[in-house]
Amino acid sequence: MPTWLEDAVFYEIYPQSFLDTNGDGIGDFEGILQKLDYIKNLGCNALWINPCFDSPFKDGGYDVRDYKKTAPRYGTNDELKRIFIEAHQRGIRVLLDLVPGHTSEEHPWFIESSKAEPNEYWNRFIWTDHCFKRAEGLGFIGGETERAATYIINFFKCQPALNYGFLKPKEDWHLPMHHPDCMAAREAMKEVMRFWLDAGCDGFRVDMAGSLVKFDDADKSGTQSLWRDIRAMLDAEYPEAVLVAEWSFPKQAIGGGFHADFFLDFTENQGGYRSLFRNYAEPDAKGGDTSFFKAGSQGNIHTFLNEYLDHYEATKDKGYISLVTGNHDTIRLAYTLNPRELALAYGFIFTMPGVPFLYYGDEIGMRYLPLPTKEGGYFRTGSRTPMQWKAGKNLGFSDAAADKLYLPVDLAPDAPTVEAQEQDPGSLLSTVKALLKLRQEHPDLQSKGNLEIVYPQDKSPSPGPLVYRRGNFLVAVNPDLAAKSVPLPTQVPREKVYSIGQCSINGDTCCMEGQSFGVWGI
C-alpha cells in the first residue's frame, strides 16, 4: 500500500473548466500549472485530473481516441509532464483518469476491428457473430460498419466495449477471459498505464472499474481477478502507484486490488451516500429534500451508517473508502445546501476515515446551473461550469468573449469567488482550509485510524447529531436546527480543537446548538 495515501486529500479538476490561459474559452494545462500553489495552500496534496486524452468529446473525454496523446485543446504531452514535475515539487501527487472499459468509436483499434476481414484487432472489442444478432443483456449497435456483426457498447453509443472476455461464455462469440485476444486487450491497457507512469503520473482513477468482464459476473469475481492481475503488475513495477476505483462497492473494489473506492450512489448500494446530501428528486429538488445535512429535513443517519459500516469493517485494513464533496457526474451540493449546511457536510467528510476528494469549486460553494447538454453531459453539465476565481470578466476564468466559453459562468450578482472568500475569515473557503489543516496536522483524522460510532447506537430515526471517535479525537455534528444533547462515555477527549457554531462537552454530555460541528482531542 503506498504510504502517501495515508494523509492524501484529493482535488478533482475538470480541465476544460478550470482556467483558460490562451483565450480560447477552454481550460488548459497551463491553467492547472498556474494554480498549483492555490491547490497546495487550500490543503490538498493530490490531484485527480479528469480525462485529458485525445477525444472527439462526445462524452466529455470519456470517449478516448488515443490513450497516449493529450487532447490538443489542453496542451501537449510535454505540458502534462510538466504538471507532474511542478506538482511533485510542491508535494502534490497526480492521478490521471483511466478509461479501460471502452474507447471512442474513432479509436484506431476500433476502426481496424470494424473491418470486414479478420485482423489483429478483430477481437479487441466485443462483436456478435451476425449483423442482426441481438446481445442479450447488453447494449449493442449494428448497421454502422462493414463488418457483418453488431458490437457491444459500454455506455453511450460512441463507446464500444473493449473485450476482456466473459466469465461464463454462453455463445460462440463470448470469448473466455483467458482467450489470447482478451489477454491482449488487458496487456494493451497495462501498456497505457506504464506509458503515463513512466511520464511521471502517480496512478489512476479508473472509470467504470467494475464494468470490464461481462456476464455472468454478477459477483464481479471475474473483474476482480483481472484487476488483481493489474495490481500485481503495479506492485512489482510501480509500487508507489495508486488505483482508485469508480466502482462504488468498496468490498468488491478493494477485494479486486484497488487501493480506494468511491462511496457513491450506484445501483449496488441502497442510497447511503444519497441520504447524506442528495435525498431529493434529481435534478429538481422541489419535491423536498430529506438529506441528513439539510437543516429541518429530519433526515436519518442510519441509512448511511448501515451501508457504510458494512463496507468499512470489511475493508478498513485493506484499502480506503473515499467520500466526495461531489464530482463531474453529480449535482453540486450547493444546489440544495446553503453555506452553513455545506460547512457541516465538509466537516464530516474531512474528518472521516478514508481518502477524501474535493471537487473544484466546491470549496467556495459554486452553484449547480441548469444548462443544455454539452459534450454528453446532460443534467451533469450544470456541475461542470467554469471555476469562479475573481470578480470581473468571466469571473476570472478566461479572457475570451462570453459566447466563446466552454460553458457559461454563474452570472448571479452574488456568485461566489475565490478572491472574495480569501478575504473573509468566515467564508466557506476559509472553513475548508481550516478543516484540511486540522486533518493534515493529526494522523488520527487522516485516512487510517479507527472509527467508532458513539451516537446514535440504536436504530431509531435520528436527524442528529452524529458523534464518532477517531483515535484520540471525538467529532460531533448536529445538522438539525434544534439544539441537541448527547450522553457520552466517561473516557472521551475534552479539549476542543475546532468548532463551527456553539458546542461543548459538559460533564458526561455533549451539548450542541443547532447546525454546529465540533472536534475535541486529548
Domain boundaries along the sequence of the chain: 3-100+181-441, 102-163, 451-521
- Output the pLDDT for position 522: 82
User: Residue 388 and residue 409: Cα distance in Å, rounded?
Assistant: 8
Residue 101 has, within 13 A of its CA and on its CB side, a CA count of 23
For residue 430, is pLDDT > 80?
yes
Cell reading at 245 = 476505483
Strand arrangement of the beta sheet that strand 495-500 belongs to: 452-455, 466-470, 473-478, 516-521, 495-500
User: What pLDDT, in 10s, does the model give residues 480-522?
Assistant: 999 999 999 878 888 999 999 999 999 889 999 999 999 999 8
User: What whole-number distance in Å separates Cα of residue 31 and Cα of residue 14?
Assistant: 11
Please give the mean pLDDT across all residues of the chain.
95
Residue 245 has pLDDT above 90, yes or no: yes
- What CATH class is the domain 3-100+181-441? alpha beta
Read off the pLDDT of each residue in 2-30 and give the average, rounded to a whole number.
98
State the average pLDDT over residues 403-422.
98
pLDDT, average across residues 344-360: 98
Mean pLDDT of 135-146: 92
Rounded Cα gap, residues 365 and 337, in angstroms:
9
Query: In angstroms, rounded to a whole number, what is the distance separating the alpha carbons of residues 144 and 157?
Result: 11
- Domain 451-521 CATH class label: mainly beta
CATH value of 102-163 in 3.90.400.10, 1.20.120.1080, 3.40.50.2000, 3.40.50.920: 3.90.400.10
Strand order in the sheet with 260-262: 320-322, 260-262, 242-245, 203-206, 93-98, 46-49, 10-13, 357-359
**What is the residue type of 9?**
V
Note the pLDDT tens digit of each residue in 194-236.
Answer: 999 999 999 999 999 999 999 777 889 999 999 999 999 999 9
Q: How far apart are CA 47 and CA 61, in angstroms?
A: 18
Q: How confident is the model at residue 287 (pLDDT cuts 50, 70, 90)?
A: low
Q: Is it the case that residue 268 has pLDDT exceeding 70?
A: no
pLDDT greater than 60 at residue 267: no
Give 462's pLDDT tier (boundaries 50, 70, 90). low
pTM of the model: 0.96
